[in-house]
Structure 1
Amino acid sequence: MPPVLILLTLFLPLGAGAEEIIGGHEVKPHSRPYMAYVTFLDDGKMMLCGGFLVKDNFVLTAAHCLGSSMRVTLGAHNIETKEKTQQIIPVAKAIPHPAYNDKDWSNDIMLLKLQRKAIRTKAVSPLKLPRANAQLKPGYVCHLAGWGATSLSATKGAASLQEAVLIIQDDQKCKLRFHCYIKTIQICAGDPKQIQAAFKGDSGGPLVCDNRAYGVLSYREDETIAPGIFTKVVSFLPWIRSSMKPSNRC
Protein backbone atom coordinates (compact mmCIF):
# COMPACT_ATOMS: atom_id res chain seq x y z
CA MET A 1 0.00 0.00 0.00
CA PRO A 2 1.41 3.44 -0.88
CA PRO A 3 2.18 5.89 1.96
CA VAL A 4 -0.92 7.37 3.52
CA LEU A 5 -1.46 10.97 2.48
CA ILE A 6 -3.25 13.76 4.30
CA LEU A 7 -4.83 17.10 3.53
CA LEU A 8 -3.09 20.35 4.36
CA THR A 9 -6.10 22.57 4.84
CA LEU A 10 -6.95 26.27 5.11
CA PHE A 11 -10.44 26.33 6.64
CA LEU A 12 -11.76 27.87 3.46
CA PRO A 13 -13.69 26.42 0.53
CA LEU A 14 -11.41 24.64 -1.92
CA GLY A 15 -12.16 26.46 -5.18
CA ALA A 16 -10.31 29.10 -7.13
CA GLY A 17 -7.69 27.42 -9.24
CA ALA A 18 -4.96 26.80 -6.62
CA GLU A 19 -5.95 23.25 -5.70
CA GLU A 20 -3.10 20.82 -5.13
CA ILE A 21 -2.44 17.16 -4.43
CA ILE A 22 1.04 16.77 -2.95
CA GLY A 23 2.95 13.54 -2.40
CA GLY A 24 0.41 11.55 -4.37
CA HIS A 25 1.00 9.60 -7.54
CA GLU A 26 -0.04 9.89 -11.15
CA VAL A 27 -2.80 7.45 -11.97
CA LYS A 28 -2.83 5.16 -14.98
CA PRO A 29 -4.31 7.21 -17.85
CA HIS A 30 -8.12 7.04 -17.93
CA SER A 31 -8.28 4.61 -15.01
CA ARG A 32 -10.60 7.07 -13.21
CA PRO A 33 -13.13 7.53 -16.05
CA TYR A 34 -15.61 9.34 -13.80
CA MET A 35 -13.35 12.34 -13.17
CA ALA A 36 -14.52 15.75 -14.40
CA TYR A 37 -12.50 18.95 -14.80
CA VAL A 38 -14.88 21.83 -14.09
CA THR A 39 -14.11 25.41 -15.19
CA PHE A 40 -16.15 28.56 -14.58
CA LEU A 41 -15.92 32.33 -14.32
CA ASP A 42 -16.09 34.19 -11.00
CA ASP A 43 -15.99 37.98 -11.34
CA GLY A 44 -14.40 37.51 -14.74
CA LYS A 45 -11.61 35.26 -13.46
CA MET A 46 -11.28 31.68 -14.68
CA MET A 47 -11.59 29.19 -11.81
CA LEU A 48 -11.47 25.42 -11.63
CA CYS A 49 -12.86 22.60 -9.52
CA GLY A 50 -12.98 18.86 -9.59
CA GLY A 51 -16.13 16.84 -10.03
CA PHE A 52 -17.31 13.42 -11.13
CA LEU A 53 -19.83 11.95 -13.53
CA VAL A 54 -22.76 10.27 -11.76
CA LYS A 55 -25.11 9.94 -14.74
CA ASP A 56 -24.61 10.41 -18.48
CA ASN A 57 -25.74 14.03 -18.25
CA PHE A 58 -24.97 14.91 -14.61
CA VAL A 59 -21.77 15.77 -12.76
CA LEU A 60 -21.57 16.06 -8.98
CA THR A 61 -19.31 18.72 -7.41
CA ALA A 62 -19.21 21.24 -4.53
CA ALA A 63 -21.79 24.04 -4.24
CA HIS A 64 -19.08 26.66 -3.70
CA CYS A 65 -17.84 25.90 -7.24
CA LEU A 66 -20.82 27.76 -8.71
CA GLY A 67 -20.01 30.35 -11.36
CA SER A 68 -20.89 31.52 -14.85
CA SER A 69 -19.94 29.99 -18.22
CA MET A 70 -19.51 26.60 -16.55
CA ARG A 71 -17.94 23.84 -18.63
CA VAL A 72 -16.99 20.24 -17.91
CA THR A 73 -14.18 18.21 -19.46
CA LEU A 74 -14.59 14.44 -19.26
CA GLY A 75 -12.22 11.69 -20.40
CA ALA A 76 -9.09 13.70 -19.63
CA HIS A 77 -5.76 12.52 -18.26
CA ASN A 78 -3.45 15.34 -19.34
CA ILE A 79 -5.65 18.39 -19.13
CA GLU A 80 -3.16 20.53 -21.06
CA THR A 81 -3.40 18.49 -24.26
CA LYS A 82 -6.26 17.85 -26.67
CA GLU A 83 -6.67 14.13 -26.10
CA LYS A 84 -8.99 12.22 -28.42
CA THR A 85 -10.71 10.80 -25.36
CA GLN A 86 -11.80 14.20 -24.06
CA GLN A 87 -15.42 15.34 -24.17
CA ILE A 88 -15.92 19.04 -23.42
CA ILE A 89 -19.54 19.79 -22.55
CA PRO A 90 -21.10 23.11 -21.41
CA VAL A 91 -23.27 23.08 -18.29
CA ALA A 92 -26.95 23.63 -19.07
CA LYS A 93 -28.00 24.10 -15.46
CA ALA A 94 -26.20 24.27 -12.11
CA ILE A 95 -28.23 22.90 -9.18
CA PRO A 96 -26.59 23.80 -5.83
CA HIS A 97 -28.23 22.28 -2.76
CA PRO A 98 -30.92 24.74 -1.59
CA ALA A 99 -29.62 24.62 1.99
CA TYR A 100 -25.97 25.31 1.11
CA ASN A 101 -24.47 27.70 3.67
CA ASP A 102 -21.31 29.55 2.62
CA LYS A 103 -20.66 30.57 6.23
CA ASP A 104 -20.12 27.10 7.65
CA TRP A 105 -19.89 25.14 4.34
CA SER A 106 -22.74 22.84 5.26
CA ASN A 107 -24.60 21.12 2.41
CA ASP A 108 -21.70 21.96 0.08
CA ILE A 109 -22.88 19.87 -2.85
CA MET A 110 -24.09 20.68 -6.37
CA LEU A 111 -25.28 18.87 -9.46
CA LEU A 112 -24.34 20.10 -12.93
CA LYS A 113 -26.74 19.15 -15.69
CA LEU A 114 -24.85 18.93 -18.97
CA GLN A 115 -26.13 20.34 -22.25
CA ARG A 116 -25.86 16.88 -23.76
CA LYS A 117 -25.25 13.37 -22.55
CA ALA A 118 -21.69 12.17 -22.28
CA ILE A 119 -20.77 9.31 -24.59
CA ARG A 120 -19.65 6.35 -22.52
CA THR A 121 -16.21 5.06 -23.46
CA LYS A 122 -13.29 3.40 -21.68
CA ALA A 123 -12.26 6.92 -20.64
CA VAL A 124 -15.73 8.21 -19.67
CA SER A 125 -18.18 6.44 -17.37
CA PRO A 126 -20.15 7.31 -14.21
CA LEU A 127 -19.04 6.59 -10.65
CA LYS A 128 -21.46 4.65 -8.46
CA LEU A 129 -23.02 6.37 -5.46
CA PRO A 130 -23.04 4.69 -2.04
CA ARG A 131 -25.89 2.45 -0.97
CA ALA A 132 -28.49 3.97 1.34
CA ASN A 133 -27.34 4.17 4.97
CA ALA A 134 -23.79 3.10 4.08
CA GLN A 135 -21.23 4.29 6.65
CA LEU A 136 -17.43 4.51 6.81
CA LYS A 137 -15.61 3.57 10.00
CA PRO A 138 -12.45 5.37 11.19
CA GLY A 139 -9.35 3.82 9.66
CA TYR A 140 -10.98 3.03 6.34
CA VAL A 141 -8.73 3.78 3.37
CA CYS A 142 -10.15 5.88 0.51
CA HIS A 143 -8.79 7.90 -2.43
CA LEU A 144 -9.00 11.43 -3.80
CA ALA A 145 -8.01 12.37 -7.36
CA GLY A 146 -7.47 15.74 -9.03
CA TRP A 147 -5.38 17.89 -11.33
CA GLY A 148 -3.96 20.08 -8.57
CA ALA A 149 -0.31 21.11 -8.29
CA THR A 150 2.20 18.63 -6.87
CA SER A 151 4.26 21.01 -4.71
CA LEU A 152 3.64 24.00 -2.48
CA SER A 153 5.82 26.19 -4.69
CA ALA A 154 4.04 25.28 -7.93
CA THR A 155 2.23 28.15 -9.64
CA LYS A 156 -0.28 25.99 -11.52
CA GLY A 157 -1.98 22.63 -11.31
CA ALA A 158 -0.58 19.33 -12.48
CA ALA A 159 -1.13 18.51 -16.13
CA SER A 160 -1.90 14.85 -15.46
CA LEU A 161 -4.40 13.35 -13.04
CA GLN A 162 -2.94 12.69 -9.56
CA GLU A 163 -4.33 10.67 -6.65
CA ALA A 164 -3.86 10.69 -2.88
CA VAL A 165 -4.70 8.05 -0.28
CA LEU A 166 -6.80 9.28 2.67
CA ILE A 167 -7.83 7.58 5.92
CA ILE A 168 -11.26 8.14 7.46
CA GLN A 169 -10.93 9.91 10.81
CA ASP A 170 -12.96 9.76 14.03
CA ASP A 171 -15.94 12.17 14.03
CA GLN A 172 -15.45 13.30 17.62
CA LYS A 173 -11.79 14.20 17.08
CA CYS A 174 -12.70 16.14 13.94
CA LYS A 175 -15.45 18.01 15.78
CA LEU A 176 -12.87 19.21 18.33
CA ARG A 177 -10.67 20.51 15.53
CA PHE A 178 -13.34 21.77 13.13
CA HIS A 179 -16.07 23.47 15.13
CA CYS A 180 -18.32 23.69 12.07
CA TYR A 181 -18.04 19.94 11.46
CA ILE A 182 -21.40 18.14 11.26
CA LYS A 183 -20.96 14.37 11.35
CA THR A 184 -24.40 13.63 9.92
CA ILE A 185 -23.63 15.40 6.63
CA GLN A 186 -19.81 15.48 6.50
CA ILE A 187 -16.84 13.10 6.45
CA CYS A 188 -13.40 13.81 7.87
CA ALA A 189 -10.56 12.14 5.92
CA GLY A 190 -6.76 12.32 6.10
CA ASP A 191 -4.13 11.52 8.73
CA PRO A 192 -2.44 14.46 10.54
CA LYS A 193 0.34 12.15 11.78
CA GLN A 194 1.70 11.66 8.28
CA ILE A 195 4.16 14.11 6.71
CA GLN A 196 3.19 13.52 3.09
CA ALA A 197 0.21 15.60 2.13
CA ALA A 198 -2.50 16.42 -0.34
CA PHE A 199 -2.74 20.20 -0.11
CA LYS A 200 -6.16 21.64 -0.90
CA GLY A 201 -7.02 18.82 -3.28
CA ASP A 202 -9.59 19.67 -5.96
CA SER A 203 -12.82 21.15 -4.65
CA GLY A 204 -15.71 18.97 -5.65
CA GLY A 205 -13.53 15.93 -6.23
CA PRO A 206 -14.81 12.54 -5.02
CA LEU A 207 -13.75 10.65 -1.91
CA VAL A 208 -13.78 7.17 -3.43
CA CYS A 209 -14.11 4.12 -1.18
CA ASP A 210 -14.77 0.64 -2.59
CA ASN A 211 -15.29 2.19 -6.04
CA ARG A 212 -18.16 4.37 -4.83
CA ALA A 213 -18.36 8.13 -4.19
CA TYR A 214 -18.77 8.64 -0.45
CA GLY A 215 -17.74 12.29 -0.28
CA VAL A 216 -17.34 15.58 -2.16
CA LEU A 217 -14.27 17.62 -1.16
CA SER A 218 -15.37 20.80 0.61
CA TYR A 219 -13.00 22.72 2.90
CA ARG A 220 -9.82 22.86 4.97
CA GLU A 221 -8.32 24.38 8.13
CA ASP A 222 -5.81 27.22 8.56
CA GLU A 223 -2.40 26.29 7.07
CA THR A 224 -1.93 23.23 9.24
CA ILE A 225 -1.53 19.56 8.55
CA ALA A 226 -5.06 18.36 9.16
CA PRO A 227 -7.76 16.18 7.66
CA GLY A 228 -10.02 17.61 4.98
CA ILE A 229 -13.78 17.80 5.18
CA PHE A 230 -16.02 16.15 2.60
CA THR A 231 -19.76 16.47 2.11
CA LYS A 232 -21.26 13.06 2.94
CA VAL A 233 -22.94 11.84 -0.25
CA VAL A 234 -25.09 9.20 1.43
CA SER A 235 -26.91 11.93 3.37
CA PHE A 236 -27.94 13.60 0.11
CA LEU A 237 -29.04 10.60 -1.95
CA PRO A 238 -32.77 11.55 -1.96
CA TRP A 239 -31.94 15.09 -3.12
CA ILE A 240 -29.50 13.82 -5.78
CA ARG A 241 -31.99 11.35 -7.20
CA SER A 242 -34.86 13.84 -7.13
CA SER A 243 -32.77 16.52 -8.84
CA MET A 244 -31.77 14.15 -11.65
CA LYS A 245 -35.33 13.06 -12.46
CA PRO A 246 -36.39 13.83 -16.06
CA SER A 247 -39.16 16.09 -14.73
CA ASN A 248 -36.47 18.56 -13.59
CA ARG A 249 -35.54 19.59 -17.12
CA CYS A 250 -36.13 23.33 -16.97
Structure 2
Amino acid sequence: MGPAKSIKPPGRSRYAIPALMSNIQVQILLLLPMAFLLPHRAWAGEIIGGREAQPHSRPYMAYLDIQRGNKNHSCGGFLVAENFVLTAAHCNGDKITVSLGAHNIKQRVAEKLQKITVSEKISHENYNKATNNNDIMLLQLAESAKLNGWVDTIALPRTRKRVNPGTICSIAGWGRTVARNQFTKATTLQEVDVEVLEDDECMYRHYNAFTMMCVGNPEKGKDSAKGDSGGPLVCGKTAQGIVSWGPYSPPGVYTRLSTFIPWIRRTMRRLQP
Protein backbone atom coordinates (compact mmCIF):
# COMPACT_ATOMS: atom_id res chain seq x y z
CA MET A 1 0.00 0.00 0.00
CA GLY A 2 1.45 3.33 -0.99
CA PRO A 3 2.15 5.98 1.61
CA ALA A 4 -0.21 8.88 2.02
CA LYS A 5 0.78 11.96 0.08
CA SER A 6 2.00 14.98 1.94
CA ILE A 7 0.23 18.19 1.05
CA LYS A 8 1.84 20.19 -1.73
CA PRO A 9 2.73 23.84 -1.17
CA PRO A 10 0.21 26.18 -2.82
CA GLY A 11 1.50 27.37 -6.16
CA ARG A 12 -1.37 29.53 -7.38
CA SER A 13 -1.22 33.28 -7.59
CA ARG A 14 -4.26 33.73 -5.35
CA TYR A 15 -2.06 32.69 -2.40
CA ALA A 16 0.55 35.36 -3.07
CA ILE A 17 0.70 37.98 -0.28
CA PRO A 18 1.17 41.62 -1.36
CA ALA A 19 3.74 43.48 0.67
CA LEU A 20 1.32 46.19 1.75
CA MET A 21 -1.28 43.90 3.30
CA SER A 22 -1.98 44.21 7.02
CA ASN A 23 -0.94 41.58 9.52
CA ILE A 24 -4.58 40.53 10.01
CA GLN A 25 -5.05 40.03 6.26
CA VAL A 26 -1.87 38.00 6.09
CA GLN A 27 -2.99 35.80 8.98
CA ILE A 28 -6.37 35.16 7.34
CA LEU A 29 -4.75 34.17 4.05
CA LEU A 30 -2.34 31.84 5.81
CA LEU A 31 -5.16 30.15 7.72
CA LEU A 32 -7.46 29.65 4.72
CA PRO A 33 -5.54 26.71 3.19
CA MET A 34 -5.61 24.95 6.58
CA ALA A 35 -9.39 24.66 6.32
CA PHE A 36 -8.90 22.26 3.43
CA LEU A 37 -6.92 19.82 5.55
CA LEU A 38 -9.90 18.81 7.64
CA PRO A 39 -12.29 15.92 6.84
CA HIS A 40 -15.62 17.77 7.01
CA ARG A 41 -17.80 15.04 5.50
CA ALA A 42 -18.29 12.79 8.48
CA TRP A 43 -21.79 12.26 9.87
CA ALA A 44 -24.10 14.11 7.55
CA GLY A 45 -25.02 14.21 3.89
CA GLU A 46 -25.71 16.60 1.10
CA ILE A 47 -25.88 16.70 -2.66
CA ILE A 48 -24.80 20.11 -3.93
CA GLY A 49 -25.89 21.36 -7.36
CA GLY A 50 -28.01 18.29 -8.10
CA ARG A 51 -31.62 17.28 -8.64
CA GLU A 52 -34.21 14.88 -7.30
CA ALA A 53 -33.65 11.37 -8.63
CA GLN A 54 -36.39 9.55 -10.48
CA PRO A 55 -38.08 7.40 -7.80
CA HIS A 56 -36.49 3.94 -7.50
CA SER A 57 -34.11 4.55 -10.42
CA ARG A 58 -31.23 3.57 -8.11
CA PRO A 59 -32.50 0.33 -6.53
CA TYR A 60 -29.10 -0.39 -4.95
CA MET A 61 -29.25 2.70 -2.69
CA ALA A 62 -29.45 2.12 1.05
CA TYR A 63 -30.35 4.61 3.77
CA LEU A 64 -28.52 3.91 7.04
CA ASP A 65 -30.10 4.93 10.34
CA ILE A 66 -27.21 4.85 12.80
CA GLN A 67 -27.44 4.92 16.57
CA ARG A 68 -24.32 5.85 18.48
CA GLY A 69 -24.86 6.23 22.20
CA ASN A 70 -27.92 8.46 22.63
CA LYS A 71 -27.50 10.14 19.24
CA ASN A 72 -28.77 9.20 15.81
CA HIS A 73 -27.01 9.84 12.53
CA SER A 74 -27.52 8.84 8.92
CA CYS A 75 -25.34 7.73 6.05
CA GLY A 76 -25.70 6.26 2.61
CA GLY A 77 -24.75 2.79 1.48
CA PHE A 78 -25.34 0.40 -1.41
CA LEU A 79 -26.45 -3.20 -1.80
CA VAL A 80 -23.76 -5.47 -3.28
CA ALA A 81 -25.36 -8.85 -2.45
CA GLU A 82 -28.71 -9.97 -1.07
CA ASN A 83 -27.39 -9.74 2.47
CA PHE A 84 -24.47 -7.30 2.23
CA VAL A 85 -24.28 -3.50 2.07
CA LEU A 86 -21.13 -1.45 1.56
CA THR A 87 -20.60 1.92 3.23
CA ALA A 88 -17.85 4.06 4.79
CA ALA A 89 -16.09 2.90 7.96
CA HIS A 90 -16.68 6.29 9.59
CA CYS A 91 -20.43 5.52 9.41
CA ASN A 92 -20.08 2.90 12.14
CA GLY A 93 -22.27 2.95 15.24
CA ASP A 94 -23.73 0.85 18.03
CA LYS A 95 -26.78 -0.14 15.98
CA ILE A 96 -27.50 0.29 12.27
CA THR A 97 -30.80 -0.20 10.45
CA VAL A 98 -30.77 -0.32 6.65
CA SER A 99 -33.67 0.92 4.53
CA LEU A 100 -33.84 -0.43 0.98
CA GLY A 101 -36.30 0.55 -1.74
CA ALA A 102 -36.69 4.03 -0.27
CA HIS A 103 -37.21 7.28 -2.15
CA ASN A 104 -38.93 9.53 0.38
CA ILE A 105 -37.36 8.59 3.72
CA LYS A 106 -40.20 10.22 5.64
CA GLN A 107 -42.50 7.47 4.41
CA ARG A 108 -41.45 4.95 7.03
CA VAL A 109 -44.16 2.47 6.05
CA ALA A 110 -44.27 1.98 2.31
CA GLU A 111 -45.05 -0.93 0.05
CA LYS A 112 -41.62 -0.84 -1.61
CA LEU A 113 -39.60 -0.26 1.59
CA GLN A 114 -37.55 -2.99 3.26
CA LYS A 115 -36.08 -2.18 6.68
CA ILE A 116 -33.48 -4.67 7.87
CA THR A 117 -31.21 -4.56 10.91
CA VAL A 118 -27.47 -5.12 10.59
CA SER A 119 -26.13 -8.27 12.26
CA GLU A 120 -22.40 -7.73 11.60
CA LYS A 121 -20.41 -4.54 11.02
CA ILE A 122 -16.93 -5.15 9.60
CA SER A 123 -14.72 -2.10 9.14
CA HIS A 124 -11.45 -2.57 7.28
CA GLU A 125 -8.80 -3.72 9.74
CA ASN A 126 -6.50 -0.86 8.68
CA TYR A 127 -9.09 1.90 8.82
CA ASN A 128 -7.49 5.03 10.25
CA LYS A 129 -9.96 7.43 11.83
CA ALA A 130 -7.43 10.28 11.87
CA THR A 131 -6.60 10.12 8.15
CA ASN A 132 -9.76 8.38 6.83
CA ASN A 133 -7.52 5.92 5.01
CA ASN A 134 -9.19 2.57 4.19
CA ASP A 135 -12.60 4.14 4.85
CA ILE A 136 -14.73 1.14 3.97
CA MET A 137 -17.14 -1.06 5.95
CA LEU A 138 -19.16 -4.14 5.02
CA LEU A 139 -22.55 -4.63 6.68
CA GLN A 140 -24.11 -8.08 6.90
CA LEU A 141 -27.90 -7.91 7.05
CA ALA A 142 -29.82 -9.94 9.60
CA GLU A 143 -31.94 -11.27 6.73
CA SER A 144 -31.53 -11.24 2.99
CA ALA A 145 -33.19 -8.48 1.00
CA LYS A 146 -35.94 -9.43 -1.42
CA LEU A 147 -34.65 -8.38 -4.85
CA ASN A 148 -37.27 -6.86 -7.15
CA GLY A 149 -37.86 -3.77 -9.29
CA TRP A 150 -37.21 -1.44 -6.35
CA VAL A 151 -34.40 -3.26 -4.54
CA ASP A 152 -31.39 -4.67 -6.39
CA THR A 153 -27.61 -4.97 -6.23
CA ILE A 154 -24.97 -2.95 -8.07
CA ALA A 155 -21.84 -4.35 -9.72
CA LEU A 156 -18.36 -3.81 -8.30
CA PRO A 157 -15.24 -3.06 -10.37
CA ARG A 158 -12.40 -5.41 -11.24
CA THR A 159 -9.44 -5.42 -8.88
CA ARG A 160 -7.09 -2.46 -9.40
CA LYS A 161 -9.10 -1.26 -12.44
CA ARG A 162 -8.89 2.55 -12.36
CA VAL A 163 -11.40 5.08 -13.66
CA ASN A 164 -9.87 7.45 -16.19
CA PRO A 165 -9.71 11.14 -15.19
CA GLY A 166 -12.38 13.10 -17.03
CA THR A 167 -14.96 10.32 -16.65
CA ILE A 168 -18.40 11.60 -15.64
CA CYS A 169 -19.93 9.57 -12.83
CA SER A 170 -22.81 10.20 -10.41
CA ILE A 171 -23.54 10.24 -6.69
CA ALA A 172 -26.80 10.22 -4.74
CA GLY A 173 -28.02 10.72 -1.19
CA TRP A 174 -30.67 12.06 1.16
CA GLY A 175 -28.71 14.84 2.82
CA ARG A 176 -28.69 18.60 2.67
CA THR A 177 -28.83 20.38 -0.68
CA VAL A 178 -27.14 23.60 0.46
CA ALA A 179 -23.59 23.60 1.79
CA ARG A 180 -22.78 24.84 5.28
CA ASN A 181 -25.03 26.14 8.01
CA GLN A 182 -28.17 24.58 6.54
CA PHE A 183 -29.47 21.75 8.69
CA THR A 184 -32.61 20.73 6.78
CA LYS A 185 -32.02 17.52 4.86
CA ALA A 186 -33.74 16.46 1.68
CA THR A 187 -36.50 13.89 2.22
CA THR A 188 -36.26 12.50 -1.31
CA LEU A 189 -33.21 10.97 -2.96
CA GLN A 190 -31.04 13.57 -4.69
CA GLU A 191 -28.43 12.92 -7.39
CA VAL A 192 -25.72 14.81 -9.26
CA ASP A 193 -23.12 14.13 -11.96
CA VAL A 194 -19.48 14.61 -10.99
CA GLU A 195 -16.15 14.38 -12.79
CA VAL A 196 -13.25 12.12 -11.83
CA LEU A 197 -10.04 14.15 -11.55
CA GLU A 198 -6.31 13.47 -11.55
CA ASP A 199 -4.99 12.53 -8.11
CA ASP A 200 -2.81 15.63 -7.90
CA GLU A 201 -5.96 17.80 -7.96
CA CYS A 202 -6.58 16.71 -4.34
CA MET A 203 -3.74 18.53 -2.62
CA TYR A 204 -4.93 17.48 0.82
CA ARG A 205 -2.92 16.14 3.68
CA HIS A 206 -3.38 12.36 4.06
CA TYR A 207 -4.62 11.90 0.45
CA ASN A 208 -3.53 8.43 -0.69
CA ALA A 209 -3.85 7.73 -4.42
CA PHE A 210 -3.83 3.96 -3.87
CA THR A 211 -6.89 3.90 -1.60
CA MET A 212 -8.62 7.15 -2.56
CA MET A 213 -10.11 8.91 -5.60
CA CYS A 214 -10.27 12.64 -6.34
CA VAL A 215 -13.71 13.61 -7.65
CA GLY A 216 -15.60 16.83 -8.41
CA ASN A 217 -14.60 19.69 -10.71
CA PRO A 218 -14.27 22.82 -8.51
CA GLU A 219 -15.41 25.04 -11.40
CA LYS A 220 -18.80 23.30 -11.56
CA GLY A 221 -19.56 23.25 -7.84
CA LYS A 222 -21.31 19.87 -7.98
CA ASP A 223 -20.43 17.70 -5.04
CA SER A 224 -21.31 15.47 -2.16
CA ALA A 225 -20.36 16.67 1.28
CA LYS A 226 -21.08 15.96 4.90
CA GLY A 227 -23.10 12.86 5.22
CA ASP A 228 -23.81 11.46 1.83
CA SER A 229 -20.95 9.56 3.38
CA GLY A 230 -21.02 5.89 2.51
CA GLY A 231 -22.96 6.32 -0.71
CA PRO A 232 -21.59 5.00 -4.02
CA LEU A 233 -19.78 6.82 -6.79
CA VAL A 234 -21.39 5.20 -9.84
CA CYS A 235 -19.63 5.17 -13.21
CA GLY A 236 -21.77 3.60 -15.89
CA LYS A 237 -23.43 0.69 -14.09
CA THR A 238 -20.59 0.03 -11.65
CA ALA A 239 -19.87 1.36 -8.15
CA GLN A 240 -16.31 2.70 -8.28
CA GLY A 241 -16.04 4.66 -5.05
CA ILE A 242 -17.52 5.47 -1.65
CA VAL A 243 -18.19 9.03 -0.46
CA SER A 244 -15.57 9.56 2.23
CA TRP A 245 -14.26 13.04 3.10
CA GLY A 246 -13.16 16.45 1.88
CA PRO A 247 -13.73 20.20 2.28
CA TYR A 248 -17.04 22.03 1.86
CA SER A 249 -16.38 22.55 -1.86
CA PRO A 250 -15.12 20.13 -4.53
CA PRO A 251 -13.00 18.21 -5.19
CA GLY A 252 -13.91 15.56 -2.65
CA VAL A 253 -12.22 12.32 -1.66
CA TYR A 254 -13.76 8.90 -2.27
CA THR A 255 -12.62 5.44 -1.21
CA ARG A 256 -11.23 3.67 -4.31
CA LEU A 257 -13.29 0.47 -4.45
CA SER A 258 -11.11 -1.39 -6.96
CA THR A 259 -8.31 -1.49 -4.36
CA PHE A 260 -10.54 -3.30 -1.86
CA ILE A 261 -12.14 -6.01 -4.04
CA PRO A 262 -10.00 -8.82 -2.54
CA TRP A 263 -10.88 -7.63 0.98
CA ILE A 264 -14.61 -7.45 0.12
CA ARG A 265 -14.67 -10.95 -1.39
CA ARG A 266 -12.64 -12.44 1.44
CA THR A 267 -14.85 -10.87 4.10
CA MET A 268 -18.09 -11.94 2.42
CA ARG A 269 -16.88 -15.53 2.08
CA ARG A 270 -15.96 -15.61 5.76
CA LEU A 271 -19.38 -14.34 6.85
CA GLN A 272 -21.57 -16.39 4.52
CA PRO A 273 -23.41 -19.24 6.33
Whether the TM-score (by the shorter chain) exceeds 0.5 is yes
Distance apart, 1:44 and its partner CA: 1.2
**Structure number having the greater helix percentage:** 2
Match of 2:101 among 70, 75, 93: 75
Query: Counterpart of 2:261 in 1: which secondary structure?
Result: helix
> Separation in 2 of the partners of 1:13 and 1:101?
15
Aligned-partner Cα distance in 2 for 1:86–1:178: 39
**Structure number with higher relative contact order (C-alpha < 8 Å, ≥ 6 residues apart):** 1
Distance 1:173 1:188 in 2: 7
Between the aligned partners of 1:137 and 1:164, the Cα distance in structure 2 is 19
Corresponding residue for 2:41?
Answer: 14
Aligned to 2:189: 161
Q: Point out the more displaced range, 98-107 or 187-196.
A: 187-196
Q: CA deviation at 1:248?
A: 2.3
Quote the offset at 1:157 in angstroms.
1.5
| Worse-superposed segment, 101-110 or 147-156 | 147-156
Say yes or no: does 1:115 pair with 2:149: no
Unaligned runs of 5+ in 2: 1-35
One-letter identity of the residue aligned with 2:260 = F
Partner in structure 2 of residue 104 of structure 1 = 131
Distance 1:59 1:36 in 2: 8
Deviations 1:49-102 (A, max 9, x none): 000000000000000111012110000011101221000000000000000000
Amino acid aligned to 2:61: M
Aligned residue number for residue 254 of structure 2: 230
8 A contact 2:201–2:214 mirrored in 1: no
Q: Distance in 2 between matches of 1:197 and 1:120?
A: 30
Q: Name 1:240's counterpart in structure 2.
A: 264
**Is the CA contact 1:23–1:198 (under 8 Å) kept in the aligned structure 2?**
no
CA distance in 2 between counterparts of 1:133 and 1:195 reads 29
Q: What pairs with 1:190-205 in structure 2 (closer than 5 Å)?
A: 190-200=216-226, 202-205=228-231
Shift of 1:38: 0.6
Aligned match of 1:4: none
Tell me the percent identity: 42
**Which has a greater percent of strand?**
1
Q: CA RMSD in A?
A: 1.7
Give the gaps of 5 or more residues in structure 1. Answer: 1-8
In the TM superposition, what is the alpha-carbon distance from 1:135 to its structure 2 partner? 1.1
Is the alpha carbon distance of 1:13 and 1:43 closer, same or farther for their aligned partners in structure 2, counting shifts above 3 Å?
farther
1:10 deviation in Å?
Answer: 7.8
Deviation at 1:173, TM superposition (A): 2.5
Deviations 1:172-206 (A, max 9, x none): 232xx212111111101001112455443500000
| Pair member with larger Rg | 2
Is 1:108–1:231's contact at 8 Å kept on the other side of the alignment? yes
Q: Which residue of 2 aligns with 1:150?
A: 177
Q: Which amino acid aligns with 1:244?
A: M
Match of 1:5 in 2: none
SS of alignment partner, residue 258 of structure 2: helix
Which TM-score applies when normalising by structure 1? 0.89
The 3 A distance-change label for structure 1 pair 155 and 95 is same
Whether 2:117 is the aligned partner of 1:90: answer: yes
Alignment match, 1:28: 54
CA distance in 1, matches of 2:223, 2:257: 24
- Distance across 2 between alignment mates of 1:185 and 1:52: 19
How far apart in 1 are the matches of 2:37 and 2:116?
A: 31
Measure, in 2, the Cα distance between the counterparts of 1:10 and 1:179. Answer: 6
Say which SS state the counterpart of residue 47 (structure 1) adopts. Answer: strand
Secondary structure of 1:241's counterpart equals: helix
CA distance 1:77–1:10, shift in 2 (3 Å): farther
